Structure 1
Amino acid sequence: MAHIQLKHVCKRYENGFEAVKDFNLEIQDNEFIIFVGPSGCGKSTTLRMLAGLENISEGELYIDGERMNEVEACDRDIAMVFQNYALYPHMTVRKNIGYSLHIRHEKKEVIEAKVNEAAEILGLTEVLDRKPSELSGGQKQRVAMGRAIVRNPRVFLMDEPLSNLDAKLRGQMRVEIASLYHKLNSTFIYVTHDQTEAMTLGTRIVVMKDGVVQQVDTPERLFRYPANQFVAGFIGTPPMNFAEAVVKYEPNGGLYLEENGNRIELTKEKAEKLRRGNYIGRAVILGIRPEHVLLNPTDGGSVHGAGAVEVYEMLGSEAMVYLNREGSREKLIIKTDTAAPVRPGEKVSYAYLPEKIHLFDRIDGRTITN
C-alpha cells in the first residue's frame, strides 16, 4: 500500500507541448484510482511520470512522504502492467513471472514459492511450463499481472491492460482485476479510455481533457453530479443528449425552459439555482441522459417534441432509439425497453424527466444545477 501525492505536476516537452498541466491529486492507501479521458488527454503520460518512465517538468511527486522526482524507476517499488504484455517469448510462463526476482538474485525456493502463489491467484498453475505463444490473450495478460504481483510492490500501475482483448475477454478480465485488487489489498492506478472499466473498477475516477483534470470523484457522483458539460458527455453509455435552451420567466408560472419551441418545466430547486445565477433570459445547455427520456409518453405528462426514428437498436431487454428531431439539427438518443418497438421512419414523441435534467453554462460549460 502507498500514500501518493502529486502537487502541481506538469509535463512539458522540448517542442513546448504541455501534455499534463498543473495536475494535483492525493491517493490514499488501498485506493483503486482510474485515469480516464479521450486519447491524448495526458492520462498515460501521468502514469509514466508516476512510474519514473517520464521526467516531471514541474511540480512534485511524493510516495509515502518521500519526494520521488529524481528517484530511478527501478527504485520506486512500483510495478507496471502494459497493454502489450511485454512477455519474453523464449521463456516459460514460470520464468516470465519470476524474472524480476531472478535478476534481484532471490533464492530459488523464494522465487518458486512466489511464482506458485501468483499463479494460483491468477489461475495460471496449469500453464506455468508453456511459452507465451501457446497462451490466449487473457492468459498473457494474467502472466503480465503475475510478474507484477511477485514483486509485492507498493503500487500497481496499469496502462490500458485490456485494450488488446476482445469484448468477452475484457469483461472476464475486469472481474479478475477487481478480485485481484481485493485480494492484494494494495494501491492500484489504472489508465483506460473505456468507461465501463472506469465505472466498474474505480473507487475514484480522474477525468482528464487536454492535460487538465476536469473532475475527481466516485463513479456514482461523476454520473449523477458532473462538474461540467465535458464530464457529463464523457461519462455514461450512451452519451448524454445536449441541446440549447433559453431560461424564460412569467409572473404566474415562474421559471421554465424553452427548447426547440417547446416549454419544459423545471423543478423548484433547479429554477432557484437559475434565478440565483442570474440566468433569466439567457441561453443555457440542457443535458439529459437517454434513459431519462420517455418515448411516446402516455401518462398524461408534457410532450417536449417529436421526430422520426433514424435507427432502432434492439439490445436484449433494452433498445436504443436514434431520433431526428423536428425543428432541430440536434439528434436525440432514447434508451427504452423493447416492449413497444419502433421502426425506422416512424414518427414518435418524447418527453424529458424534469428532475433528471442537467443544465450547463453555455460559455464555459460548468454545471449550473448540481
Structure 2
Amino acid sequence: MSIDRITALLEKLTSNTCTWQEKKELFTLIESVDDPQLKAVLEAAWLQYNQPVHNLSDYSSRVILDNILQRKQPIRVLFIRKWRAAAVAAAAALLIGISIYKFTGTPSATKEPIASVSDIKAPVTHKATITLSNGQQVPADSISAHQLVMQGQTKVVRLANGEIVYQPQGQHDEILLNTLTNPKGSQVTSITLSDGSRVWLNAGTSLTYPVAFSGRERKVTVSGEAYFEVAAAGDHKIPFSVNIKTNQRDSSLVTVLGTHFNIKAYEDEADTRVTLLQGSVQVDHQQQGLRIVPGQQATYADGQKIYVSTPSTDDVVAWKEGLFAYQNNSIAQVLRDAARWYDIDVVYAGKVPADTFTGEIPRTATLTELLQILQMSRVHFRLEGRRLTVLN
C-alpha cells in the first residue's frame, strides 16, 4: 500500500500537481518505508523524468543515478523539493533530492568538497529566555506546569511540548511587560498570550507583550520573524496590534482583529515582510497605510512605498513546519537564514554571489548537508568553527 501511494505521489510530483501536504506525506513515507521496491520506484521515476528538456549535465546525471542504484546507507537528513543550479530544472531536482536523501551515504553531488574543520548540527533544544517585568531573566525550559512563575495575577507555565502559556488569574492593577527572546541557534519556540493568541518565534527573534491585556487595545512588539494566530476579540472587537521595530528602520504597525499572519523583520534584512494567511490586516508605515487580503505580502523599507505581492504562503511559513523553503531567493538570503538557525557568522571572501536558489531543505539537516545542496549552484564554502566563508 505504501509503495502504491509513493508511486502515485511521485507521479503528481513530476507533473507539478502535488500539494504541499502531499509533498510532506511523500517525504515521510520515503523516510519510513523499508521496502526493496522503493529503490526501483525512485530509479524508474528518475529515468522517466531525466529528459533532455531539463538540461541536466552528464556529470550530475551520473552522480545522481549512482546514488540511486549503488548507495545503500541512508543519511539522516537530506531532501529538497527543488534547488536551482544553472543547468538543473527545479522540478527535476526535487526528484534528485529525494533520491539522494534516501540512498546516499554522504552528499556527493558536487566535485569539490566543503572545506570544513567540523560540522554544525541543527539546534535540538529551546534556548529561549523570558525577561520578567522586574528585569529577571528566566530560561523558558526551566518553567513547568509544577514550577510556576507569577507575574502579578498571571501564571506563566510551560507545557510538555515546550509552549509557554500565560494564564490570567485575576485583574491587573498595572501593565507588566515581559519579553520572550529566542536566540540564534535555538529551536522555534511558541507562546500563548493571556488573550489566547498564539505566537511562534523563529531563531533570532524577540517578542515584548503585556502579561495581561487590558483596556481597549492588545499591543505587542516584535523583532525578527514570528507567526501569529490572533484570538478573536469578542464582542468589543478590541484590535490586536504588532509594533515592528528594528535598529535600521522606523517602526511600523500591523493591526488586526482575528487572523493568521507572518512577520519577517530582522535587523540584517533590507526590508520588512508581512504575509497574510487568514483574515485581514492593516499595515501602517511612514505615512502609508495599506490593507492586504489572504495570500498577499506587504514588503517595505525606509523611504520606499509598500509593495504588495502574492508569494507562496506555504514557503513563507515553512520555517514553522521545520523547513527552509525558497523560490528564486538569493544565496545571500539563504545564508542569512542559515546564520540565525545554526548560530554562525557568514563572511564573503569576494563578491556576494548573484546566484539564486529554489528548494526545500529540512531544518534538521546539519550545516554541511545544507551547504552541499547550495554548492549545486556553483557556490563554495569554507567552514572553520562557527565562521563560514563564502569563497566565490
Same fold per superposition (TM over 0.5): no
Task: Please tell me whether Structure 1 or Structure 2 has the larger radius of gyration of its CA atoms.
Answer: 1
Give the TM-score of the pair, scaled to structure 1: 0.27
Give the TM-score of the pair, scaled to structure 2: 0.26
